[in-house]
Structure formats: C-alpha cells, structure tokens
Amino acid sequence: MTLIDGIAERIGAIHYGGLPVEAIARARTAILDTVGVTLAGAREPCAEIVARSIRLGADTSGECLIFGSNRRTGALDAALINGTASHALDFDDVSNSLGGHPSAPILPALFALAELLDSDGRAFVTAYVAGFETETRIGRGVHFHHYEKGWHPTATLGVFGAAAACCHLLGLDNARTAQALAIAASLAAGLKANFGTMTKPLHVGHTARSGLFAAQLAREGFTANPGALEHKQGFLMVFNGEGNFDAGRILADWGRPYDIVSPGLGIKQHPCCGSTHPAIDAMLLLRAEHDIPPAKVARIDSWTHPRRLAHTDRPDPQSGLDAKFSVQYCLARALLRGRIRLEDFEGEAFNEAEPRALMQRIHAAPHPETEAGGGEPLGAEIRVTFDDGRTIAKRVGSALGRGADNPLPAAALTGKFADCAARALPKAQAEELQRSLWQLDEAPSLRRIIALMGAA
C-alpha cells in the first residue's frame, strides 16, 4: 500500500457521526471566518483581474456563484476566482501544522462543488474536516524544511486538502480518491518569492481550482501514479529532498485527535501576514499598559522567530500588499492607532508620512533564543526605548486567536465577519448569512446559504 492509498483509506473512513463535537464547532468557526474574508476580498483588484482575465465580464451564466456579486460561472472558474478572493487580504485562518492557511484552499472548491450537488450541511462539514486533516497531516511530514526551502504550503499542500474534501463530498471510493490525490501531486505549486504581490492569493485560487479539477478527473477515470508521494521522483523527494521529510508522520495517529482540534487552527484578528501578529499583539499590550507618545520613541526593537522574520523584515514596503508582510509597518500602525485595519493596506496608506517616519525607528531581528533552537516559534518580543533612555518591553508566546488554547473571543470573531461582509452585502443579508453559517451542519441545502453570499 502506498502513502496515498493509506491517506485515501482514512479519508473514506471519516463520517459526520464519528466527528468529535470540537471538530464540528471549529469547522463552523473556520467556515464562517473564511466566507467573511472572501466577501471582503471579492472586490480586491487581484480577484477582479482574475475574473476579467477569464472573460467573465457581466456574464451571469453558469452554475456557481462568484461571492459578493450577482455573477455565475462554471465550478472550476468559481473556485479560482473565489479562492483568489479568499486570500486577497491575507486575513484568512492559519495552521502551524500546515505552515500556512488551511481553509482558503479547501472551501472555495467545496462551495462550488456543493452548489453543483446541492449538498447538505453535514456532508459539507465532514468533507471540510477530511480536507483539513489531509493537508495538515502531509504538512507534519514535510515541515519545516518544506516551508524554509521556499514553497508556499498553503498552495503546495492545500491542493491535497482541496482534492480530498472534494472527493469526500463526491462520495468517491478509495481507489478514485487515491487517483485524485496523485493527480494533485502534479498540480502542486507556489513560491514564497511572490509573497507581498497579487500572485500569493492567486496561488490559493489556483490551488482550489486544481483540487476540484483533480477530484473531477478521478471521478471520470483519469489515472495517476498512487506512489506519487514517495516515488524517487515524487512529491516528497522533489519538493523536500532525501532526508528532509518524515513520511511516517503523515499516517501516524490520523484523526487521534483531528488536527483541527489539536493543535487546531488560528483565526486572525489583524488583516496582515500572521507572522507579524505576535509582534503586533505585544505592541498593543504595551500601548494599553503605558503612555507611548510616538514623538518620544527613540527606538523600537522587534524580535521574532527567524523562520517568520525571513518574509516579514520589510522596512520599506512598496505597496499595500507588500506592507501586509512588513513587521515594521504593522508595528507603526499598531502604535499610532491601537489597531490594524483593512484600510491601512488600501491605496497609498502604506506611504503615509506618519507611519513612514516611525518605521525608521523600528528594527527587526531574529530572537536570540529562537536562533539557538529554543523558545516559541509563534511568539515575539518588543522593546520600546524612549528618548530619555527609559525602556519598556513585552513578550508574548503566541498571537491571540492562534490555536485552541488561545481562541479569538466570540465577539471579535462575529465583529470581524460583520466588518468583512459589509464590504459586499447589505447589513441584514450579512446578519442572516452569519446565522445560517453558525448552523451550517443543520442545513438541508447549501444552495440557499450560498445564495446569501451574492450581491445585487
């Protein structure tokens, strides 16, 4: 039996009645959050360019909704456009096991397929958990070499999650599910070099489309090598290289517990790269505890894990997207305003004089303890030095919302959804949608819920 055969067998064994209550609850949370950020991202330039480039225009034909619009298109194109929108703001959930964003690669594909099939909520939630487990278990086998080498795991691993979820919703047998996963191995792509550009969210749109496409191909009898993970020229050897993965971790303890339960997922409270969040939280805590007049600040030192600093040490961001990955910019905004807003990354906000002036005094470096191999990779430390030589400091172990033991408060989650959905939907419609998503697994039809995601 190959690794893919083993994964397919485990995917097929997942059923709603066997899911723990915690897994279902966290799935509902993740689905609500992802729908919200997708609606907010639907009118971002990257999503609109993708839609124009596949010549949607004003065409409303097709079976699947483009979120936040009255337009419809084919399932694969809907997965591509909605997938790009889901990651356009970099506000979607995160997973340390995956080393990226677990829900955005899965849900745009799953919503498109569910609309075609008119699936019920229980089938949808179960398929989502199957996809989440698949991508994060593969992640356990390849990290963190995979991440540090430069692959974008949201895309390179998320494609397996999207394929697994779609196979489950389609009810494919183990053999065809294995074929879909093997096809997905050849569709995996995404480079971290493109972080801070429109191509990063395009990775996710491409991944959602590819996962759905792989499942559809397998359903029709398309073939692939079920040894595509461990083959000498397969995914593990090509993407990681010999000695840089642990294939045994992929199947070990599958579902015991489900990864969505432990270590769980993280819900973002700030609309920027998750690797900046611990530093932002430390700054916000300092700001709440002390009076910090920006004019009196001589220097701010930010220390984070070198793995996370590698793509967030950007002292001179050149666009709003670039600024989402600049710990210097995000810290400046946090100190100046006491929060990070979607508007901070729109238009020329990244170039405003006040944050630019403060950024010159912000210095980012790897934390010396984590460089030595200790410490918490999700944490950060901030030290503010005033012009009179006085210093204050704060250290956090992980950002608020990161993991099951540090959840985002319910009011913050629902407030985030309302803010995001308001960018595309009338208030009453957004509120009805939120209520429906909280009860998603009780829904007899996904089509009714998806209709609430459309705008006039």
**pLDDT, tens only, 384-429:** 999 999 999 999 988 888 877 788 888 989 999 999 999 999 999 9
Listing DSSP states for 241-281 in one string gives -TTS--THHHHTTTTTT-TIIIII-B--SSSS-GGGHHHHH
Question: 325 and 308 in contact (C-beta within 8 Å)?
Answer: no
pLDDT at 373 over 60: no
Summarised one tens digit per residue, pLDDT across range 430-454 is: 999 999 999 999 999 999 999 999 9
pLDDT at 253 over 50: yes
How much is the average pLDDT of 316-335?
Answer: 95
pLDDT at 1 over 70: yes
Summarised one tens digit per residue, pLDDT across range 263-307 is: 999 999 999 998 999 999 999 999 999 999 999 999 999 999 888
pLDDT at 70 over 80: yes
Q: How far, in Å, CA of 159 to CA of 209, rounded?
A: 9
**Cis upstream peptide for 144 (omega within 30°):** yes
Domains for the chain: give ranges and CATH numbers. Answer: 3-269+406-451 (1.10.4100.10), 274-396 (3.30.1330.120)
Mean pLDDT of the chain: 94
- What six digits make up the tokens of 416? 């985030």
pLDDT at 60 over 80: no
Residue 56 confidence class, pLDDT cut points 50, 70, 90:
confident
Residue 305 to residues 200, 285, 291, 369: CA-CA distances in angstroms?
A: 22, 19, 27, 9
- What six digits make up the tokens of 407? 């959840």
Q: How far, in Å, CA of 108 to CA of 76, rounded?
A: 10
pLDDT of residue 271: 93
Residue 370 confidence class, pLDDT cut points 50, 70, 90:
low
Strands 297-304 and 362-366 come out as parallel
Give the percent of the chain with pLDDT over 70. 97
pLDDT at 101 over 70: yes
User: 178, 142, 161: which is closest to 1 by C-alpha?
Assistant: 178
Amino acid at site 335 = L
Range list of H helices, 300-409: 306-309, 320-323, 327-337, 353-359, 368-371
pLDDT of residue 376: 45
Question: 200 and 248 in contact (C-beta within 8 Å)?
Answer: no
How much is the average pLDDT of 186-211?
Answer: 97
Question: What is the rounded (10 degree) CA torsion for 145, 151, 154, 158?
Answer: -90
Q: Which residues contact 435 (CB under 8 A, 6 or more apart)?
A: none
Q: How far, in Å, CA of 334 to CA of 376, rounded?
A: 22
pLDDT at 352 over 50: yes
pLDDT of residue 374: 41
pLDDT at 24 over 60: yes
Residue 59 confidence class, pLDDT cut points 50, 70, 90:
low
pLDDT of residue 375: 42
Backbone angles phi, psi at 41, to 5 degrees: -85, -5
How much is the average pLDDT of 210-233?
Answer: 98
Q: How far, in Å, CA of 338 to CA of 334, rounded?
A: 5
